[in-house]
Homo-oligomer: A and B are copies of this chain.
Amino acid sequence: MKVVSKKIAFKNSLVLQSGKSLAGFELMTETYGELNQEKTNAVLVCHAFSGNHHAAGIKEGEKKPGWWDELIGDGKTIDTKSYFVVSLNNIGGCHGSSGPISISPESGQLFGATFPEISVSDWVETQKLLADHFGIKCWEMVAGGSLGGMQALQWTISYPERIKKAAIIAASSKISTQNIALNEVAREMIKKDESFHNGDYLAKGELPSKGLKAARMLGHITYLSESNMSKRFGRRLQDPQTKMDADINYEVENYLQYKGEQFAKTFDANSYILMTKAMDGFDPAKDFDHNLVECLKSTQAKLLIASFDSDWLFPKEYGLDMQMSAIRAGIDSTYIELDGDYGHDSFLFYSNQYSAALKNFLNSNE
């Protein structure tokens, strides 16, 4: 599958949930498959925290496929022979859409730390404008894992008439106190890096790579399951020849050091902060007196809510809570707990069970 990324510009001002606004914005996108004449076969996939628009296929000159390549493609779970799949980098991100590393059209300077606070609702708003751009009146499905699943849920609430199905995977209707706490530790590490300069590091020609690396090391632990780490690394000692640091004893330490360093080379620190704040703040029931049942009553989409047994960051209780609320709201919703070897990250990987659940949901008709 040939992959072409395309940047799409939106000229009108976008008022954000915070009250601030962007004087226009750009979205970096990829699409897979063909939009049919009636424009009724469109699927939106929403990326998780550190994901981007490159969801499927392999780009020219690269080796690594897109983050959901195991599930999107010709003959795959989300079959590009039948569906037109739209993927985008969310605003506030750092992979081509308007964000801290892009130029503010107003000031002509890098946004940096001045990029406004963003929310999951803001992302849905930009995705709605993207749907308008393609002439898509109603998504056949909006799907995503983790923070991507939150966007799928928000779609059913923000634009009930423009989404038929929402696949909400390894997600939650609001994150837990512990997750907020973990995000705060990550932000603390980044912000206290002496190269952070209150977010103005690019203007100073520096990068808070140490903070970003440590934040990712922590993140990585939370994305994997205890059992997966035990199986992969156990307590095996690291070969001294390939140690990233002289003080390292165990393989798992070396692995995290490596993963952290790689990530710090490709991700922007201000984006990290914006994305985690958006995750912390997501809580659609807040405007319904904290009652998710009331919040869901106006939705029209069919829901598929999926959790993974080994996910300790977004455990199944979150999925079950959404499902119980959906049932009480009287909307069409299915819950499934899936086996997953990779903890929270399981949503990224194919399994027969997972694929069957998602495929049957997508292809189902009332």
Contacts and interface: CB of A to CB of B under 8 A. Distances in A.
B230 A177 contact: yes
Interface stretch (A100-108, A156-164, A182-190): A182-190
A52 B181 CA distance: 27
A331 interface: no
Interface stretch (A13-21, A25-33, A141-149, A248-256): A248-256
A59 interface: no
Nearest to A248: B184
Given A217-B185, A235-B174, A253 B210 contact: no
Contact of A218 (B185, B187, B234): B185
Interface in A180-209: 180-182, 184-185, 187-189, 191-194
Given A188-B257, A189-B189, A250 B217 contact: no
A283 B188 contact: no
A281 B185 contact: no
Contacts of A174: 235
A188 B214 contact: yes
Nearest to A224: B178
A177 B226 contact: yes
A280 B188 contact: no
B180 A235 contact: yes
A247 interface: yes
Given A191-B247, A192-B213, 15 more contacts: A174-B235, A176-B229, A177-B226, A177-B230, A177-B233, A177-B252, A178-B221, A180-B250, A181-B252, A184-B252, A188-B213, A235-B283, A249-B281, A250-B280, A312-B312
Contacts of A188: 213-214, 217, 257, 260
B184 A217 contact: yes
Interface residues of A, number: 44
By DSSP majority rule, is chain A's interface helix, strand, loop, or mixed? helix
Contacts of A253: 180-181, 184
Contacts of A191: 247
A323 B181 CA distance: 34
Q: Residue among A188, A253, A283 with the most chain B CB within 10 A?
A: A188
A189 B188 CA distance: 10
5 contacts: A177-B232, A177-B233, A181-B252, A235-B283, A250-B280
A4 to B, nearest CB: 38
A123 B51 CA distance: 46
Interface in A244-283: 247-250, 252-253, 256-257, 260, 277, 280-281, 283
A214 B235 contact: no
Contact of A184 (B226, B256, B281): B256
Nearest to A343: B178
A230 B317 CA distance: 14
Contacts of A249: 277, 280-281
Contacts of A210: 192
Contacts of A187: 247
B226 A185 contact: no
Interface string A106-147: 000000000000000000000000000000000000000000
A139 to B, nearest CB: 29
Contact of A181 (B181, B184, B229, B283): B229
